[in-house]
């Protein structure tokens, strides 16, 4: 089922068609310009599991395909930014000399990989890149950046003590960021890119490397720099997975979704897909229907 309603800035709902009609705004003062509203109003119709669904639970995918739901235009802002970035970087003016994306289109029905280009340093092989627009929180997670407090030392190597405040006399500390691969999480993107890779390789384009090219939405802000993200863009390497693991993952997700279509039920998304429940509390557009279904 499609998205049928918008959630207005006062949190009331309005039918999308009503909102988009002439003088249709229930508040008589549009929250966003019409082109933006039109652009965020629609989701792609479900036509099977696609590579980018790796981070979504079966319940979310099935509910979005079968129930009416409402969209908060404000919450779609970064999706629009991402679409804009893709459109710009896919412009033939910039993709000059880059391979056609056509071979993969039929493979995944509604999705294509962003960029496949010849590997200048590995003859006959290709680099697969996906463009992303992430916030710094997600970049930190993808890179496994952690923070810890370390003591500030004076010129003689002795800890500097705080001279005032409630912690007077205690050692002064600063934040240190460090990378720990054990915390790095690019699971969804790894599955997605490996799925694309398999499509290309089956068409005779061996892939030497995969990576994300990320534009960091809050890059350059002092708060972001303090979190250890010091650039506005970043390339994140994606590991190669065994083909069987990729197939098993997508087959299982498809099996669960297909079964939900048949029996009208599938269990709630797991901790990973629901971000330990945070997604259900404010970031999931089908959460109302999901609650009605129970566990």
Q: Provide the binding-site residues for ligand SF4, judged by CB under 6 A.
A: 57, 59-60, 63, 268-269, 274, 279-280, 284, 286-287, 290
- Compare residues 111 and 273 and give the one whose CB is closer to ligand SF4: 273
- Compare residues 140 and 268 and give the one whose CB is closer to ligand SF4: 268
DSSP 24: -
Smallest distance, Å, CB 275 to ligand SF4?
8
Other CB atoms within 10 Å distance of the CB of residue 83: 14
Q: Beta strand 3-7 with 69-71: parallel, antiparallel or unpaired?
A: parallel
Q: Work out the widest C-alpha separation in the chain, in whole angstroms.
A: 73
Q: How far apart are the first and last CA of the chain?
A: 22
- Compare residues 131 and 249 and give the one whose CB is closer to ligand SF4: 249
DSSP 153: B
Smallest distance, Å, CB 58 to ligand SF4?
9
Smallest distance, Å, CB 276 to ligand SF4?
10
Contact in structure between 243 and 164 (CB atoms under 8 Å): no
CA gap 157, 66 in Å, rounded: 64
- Compare residues 116 and 269 and give the one whose CB is closer to ligand SF4: 269
Smallest distance, Å, CB 7 to ligand SF4?
15
- Compare residues 106 and 281 and give the one whose CB is closer to ligand SF4: 281
Smallest distance, Å, CB 70 to ligand SF4?
13
CA gap 245, 191 in Å, rounded: 9
In degrees and rounded to multiples of 5, residue 68 shows phi and psi of -75, 145
Residues in the chain: 295
């Amino acid at each position: 089922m499609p998205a049928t309603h918008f959630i207005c800035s006062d949190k009331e709902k309005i039918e999308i068609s009503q909102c988009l009609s002439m003088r249709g705004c229930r508040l008589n003062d549009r929250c966003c310009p019409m082109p933006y509203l039109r652009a965020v109003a629609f989701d792609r119709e479900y036509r099977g599991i696609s590579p980018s669904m790796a981070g979504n639970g079966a319940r979310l995918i099935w509910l979005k395909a079968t129930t009416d739901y409402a969209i908060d235009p404000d919450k779609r802002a970064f999706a629009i930014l991402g679409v804009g970035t893709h459109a710009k970087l896919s412009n033939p003016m910039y993709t000059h000399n880059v391979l056609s994306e056509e071979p993969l289109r039929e493979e995944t029905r509604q999705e294509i990989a962003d960029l496949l280009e010849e590997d200048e340093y590995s003859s006959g092989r290709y680099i697969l890149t996906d463009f992303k627009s992430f916030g710094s929180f997600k970049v930190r997670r993808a890179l496994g950046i952690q923070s810890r407090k370390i003591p500030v030392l004076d010129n003689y190597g002795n800890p500097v003590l705080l001279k005032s405040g409630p912690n007077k006399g205690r050692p002064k500390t600063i934040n240190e960021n460090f990378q720990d691969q054990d915390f790095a999480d690019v699971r969804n993107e790894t599955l997605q890119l490996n799925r694309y890779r398999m499509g290309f390789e089956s068409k005779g384009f061996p892939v030497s490397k995969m990576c994300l090219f990320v534009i960091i939405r809050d890059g350059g802000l002092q708060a972001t720099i303090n979190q250890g993200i010091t650039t506005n863009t970043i390339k994140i390497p994606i590991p190669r997975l065994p083909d069987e693991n990729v197939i098993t993952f997508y087959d299982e997700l498809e099996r669960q979704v297909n079964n939900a279509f048949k029996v009208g039920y599938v269990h709630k998304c797991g901790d990973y897909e629901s971000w330990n429940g945070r997604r259900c509390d404010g970031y999931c557009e089908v959460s109302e229907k999901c609650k009605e279904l129970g566990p």
